[in-house]
Structure 1
């Protein structure tokens, strides 16, 4: 079976339902997206790896694994999302030590958090992308194609399971704060290991640059 390389498009978190996240993977040589539901801790860990300017005061679990691996010369070569069963993705971490390759079973969220820290490529099989991939192109007429303006609603449905009745607004408005106030809030959020809040503040600061 042929492998297809994926990049991380981003993490979408529900503005209306706390604790729900979707990791969006993008087909490198195509237009399909692969949304994967992940937990809050894993979402924070992936966000930290993506956001280079946020440095945790203490190592997160995936950072500890990276430090341990570096100490014992273990290298993560690649991650493969190899199976999809009842909506659950299964992944393998391909590791190497002293030219001996090992394959380790892992949750997809953990595997991707580690792939980021090792700068390792992420792959999946064509049949998985054919089955679970979605198109988010504008102006398409195919049954699988969604207008780009509907992307946010599509991801929101993936996160919440389409349960519109149970949603409650939880977003915080950072536009009312000054840059100096946001800098202090960012430092406090990082110190308290509230990385979701830190990433949101960092995004607001980035918009002003």
Structure 2
């Protein structure tokens, strides 16, 4: 069975369900997306790994895994989302050390957080996309700029969207101070929102 490579389309969080996040993966050579519900910590970890301007003062668990692996010369070759049972995705990390390959079972959210840090490709199988993938029209595709999930997503995903924050009354200098404070306090969700506002004004 052939692999289909996926890329991270975006992450959004729920206004109605505390701690519920949607990680949306998209096939690289097609129009299907794969939405996966993940926890708050994993969503934060993935977002930070994708963000170049925010660096936590202390390493997160997945950063520690990267440092540990580098220290002992372990590389992550790829992540494979290989099974879907009752709405739960099962994944594997394909690791290599000194020419020896090992496959490790892992939660999908952890696997993707690690894959981002290693620049490792993410794959799934055709039958999983057939079962859980969602076709999108090009004009309705989700983008990080509009911060909305497509209308074609199932009901539980339609409710998941970015919360709006009003920073219009705050000066650029104050925004930078708030950004530094948010990172220092490890409030990366707020830091990402402030960074977005700063980028809009640049």
| TM-score w.r.t. length of structure 1 | 0.86
How do 1:133-172 residues align onto structure 2 when only pairs under 5 Å count?
A: 133-137=133-137, 151-153=149-151, 157-159=155-157, 171-172=164-165
Q: CA RMSD in A?
A: 2.3
From 180, 192, 196, give the equivalent of 1:187.
180
**Which residue of structure 1 aligns with residue 145 of structure 2?**
none
* Matches of 2:17 and 2:96, distance apart in 1: 40
**CA, structure 1 residues 51+105, in 2 after alignment: closer, same or farther (shift >3 Å)?**
same
* Matches of 1:18 and 1:171, distance apart in 2: 16
How do 1:1-209 residues align onto structure 2 when only pairs under 5 Å count?
A: 1-137=1-137, 151-153=149-151, 157-159=155-157, 171-209=164-202
Displacement after TM superposition at 1:157 (Å): 3.3
* Matches of 2:103 and 2:167, distance apart in 1: 44
**CA, structure 1 residues 148+52, in 2 after alignment: closer, same or farther (shift >3 Å)?**
closer
| TM-score w.r.t. length of structure 2 | 0.89
Aligned length: 196
Gaps of 5+ in 2: 143-147
Bigger mean CA offset, 26-35 vs 169-178: 169-178
| Contact map agreement 2:42 2:109 (CA 8 A) in 1 | yes
Gaps of 5+ in 1: 140-146, 164-168
